[in-house]
Amino acid sequence: MIELTTPITDEDINKLKAGDVIAISGQILTARDQAHKRILEEGAPCDIEGAVLFHAGPIIKEEETDDGESKYEMVAVGPTTSMRMNPYESDVLDMGAKIIIGKGGMDDSVREALIRNNAVYVVATGGCAALYVDKVNEIKGVNWLDLGMPEAIWDLDVVSFGPLIVAMDAQGNSLYD
C-alpha cells in the first residue's frame, strides 16, 4: 500500500497508476454535489490546492458543550456515488484538488481534467463506513452547514485513510475501461 500525506503534490501523483492501493494521512474534505455547486458559484471556503476531496455524506452526531458551542462526532463516513459530481468536478479539479475519493467512476470530462491537472480519482469501498470512520482522527471544522450535515464540507484529520484504489490515473488510464 502506498502511503500519502496531504497536501498532495505533483510528485505524489506522478507515482500513482490505475490499480495502485493507497492510504492517506492528513486533511480530507468531504464534498457532495451541493458543496461542489457552491464552490463553483462562490469559491471554496478553504484552500483546495493539493486537497483530497471525498464524495461522502457522513453521519454526524451533534452535542452542545457547556459553553453553548456545538461539538461534532463522526459516526460513519462512506463514499457516495461520484457520477452526481460529473457536472462540477472538472472545474473543481482546475482549482487545484489532487485526489478525488468516491465510488462508481466518473465520466470522460473528469478523466480529461485529471490528465490536465495531474490528479487522480480513487475509489473507496461502499458499505465500509464503519471501517473508514475509524481512520478519522478528528473533525477539524465544518463549512456550509446550512446545506445540511451530509452536504456540508467537513474538514477531517485522518490517519492511513484507506484502503483506496486508484481507479483513474493522471495518464488517462481507467479501471472502468
Cα 117 to Cα 20, 92, 113, 176, distances in angstroms: 19, 10, 6, 20
Question: Do the domain assignments include residue 77?
Answer: yes
Task: Return d(Cα 69, Cα 176) in angstroms, integer.
Answer: 45
Residue 71 φ then ψ, to 5°: -120, 135
Average pLDDT, the chain: 95
- Residue 145 sits in which domain range? 2-168
- Structural domain includes residue 72: yes
pLDDT of residue 126: 82
pLDDT tens per residue across span 82-98: 999 999 999 999 999 99
177: in domain: no
36 is catalytic: yes
Res 166: pLDDT: 98
Q: pLDDT (tens digit, 9 = 90+) per residue, 59-84?
A: 999 888 888 888 899 999 999 999 99
The two most distant CA atoms of the chain are separated, in Å, by: 54
Domain count, the chain: 1
Least Cα distance to 166 among 25, 26, 2 occurs for 2
Each residue of 21-41: pLDDT tens digit?
999 999 999 999 999 999 999
The answer to whether the CB of 13 falls within 8 A of the CB of 98 is: yes
Catalytic residue (choose from 18, 29, 35, 36): 36
pLDDT, residue 129, reads 82
User: What cell does 14 get?
Assistant: 506522478
Q: What pLDDT score does 118 carry?
A: 98
| Residue 159 reports pLDDT greater than 90 | yes
* Per-residue pLDDT at 139: 96
Q: Does residue 133 lie in a domain region?
A: yes
Name residue, grid cell 452547514: 145
Do 25 and 6 contact (CB within 8 A), yes or no? Answer: yes
CATH of the domain at 116: 3.20.130.10
Q: Determine contact, residues 28/5, Cβ cutoff 8 Å.
A: no
Instruction: Read off the pLDDT of residues 99-151 as tens digits, 9 standing for 90 and up.
Output: 999 999 999 999 999 999 999 999 998 888 888 999 999 999 999 999 999 99
In a domain, 174, yes or no: no
Q: Is the pLDDT of residue 175 over 90?
A: yes
